[in-house]
Amino acid sequence: MKTVITYGTFDLFHIGHLRLLKRLKSLGDKLIVAVSTDEFNEGKGKKTIIPYAQRAEIVENIGCVDLVIPETSWEQKIVDVQKYNVDIFAIGEDWFGKFDFLKEYCDVVYLERTQGISSTQLKQTLKTFSISKEEIFKAFEILEQLKSELE
């Protein structure tokens, strides 16, 4: 029985998150996912759209996930690895080398990310949808002006 653990925010859950979790499960038999709390994310300078309780519930209901725990500090990883008898710590390559200190306690694996999708990118896209009425009126004004200059 091989136990795998990972950590993440999983905000606006997308295909990149799903493919990572499925690849993680294929490394072992039991997959534990530590989902970052809103308070911990503030410490990371990360503002999430979906609150912790909902992000944890979504991850908990992903078929390949066996256990969800809260991630509340950077220091908890060594404690978690020992507490849950973890064999493999794995995370996306955007964290390459950052958790090598865990090699003393378990295997450490960095997995390729899914290209072309990220929560940050989704947030940017959402922002463009939320253009205010004032901004639209402003844009019209400028267009009218251009039109009159062209006539």
CA 11 – CA 15 distance, rounded (Å): 12
44 is annotated as an active-site residue: yes
46 is annotated as an active-site residue: yes
Of the candidates 40, 11, 36, 8, the residue with the CA atom closest to the CA atom of residue 24: 8
CA 67 – CA 92 distance, rounded (Å): 19
Of 56-64, 81-89, 112-120, 142-150, the segment contacting ligand C2G by CB under 6 A is 112-120
Site for ligand C2G (CB under 6 A): how many residues? 19
For the CB of residue 2, give the shortest distance to ligand C2G in the complex, in Å: 19
Of 1-9, 62-70, 81-89, 136-144, the segment contacting ligand C2G by CB under 6 A is 1-9
Of positions 91, 102, 106, 108, contacts ligand C2G by CB under 6 A: 91
Radius of gyration of the chain (CA): 21
**11-40 binders of ligand C2G (CB under 6 A):** 11, 16-17, 20, 36
| DSSP three-state, residue 108 | strand
CA 75 – CA 18 distance, rounded (Å): 26
Task: Tell me which amino acid residue 64 is.
Answer: C
Of 22, 25, 30, 46, the active-site residue reads 46
Measured from the CB atom, is 51 or 143 closer to ligand C2G?
51
Q: List the catalytic residues.
A: 44, 46
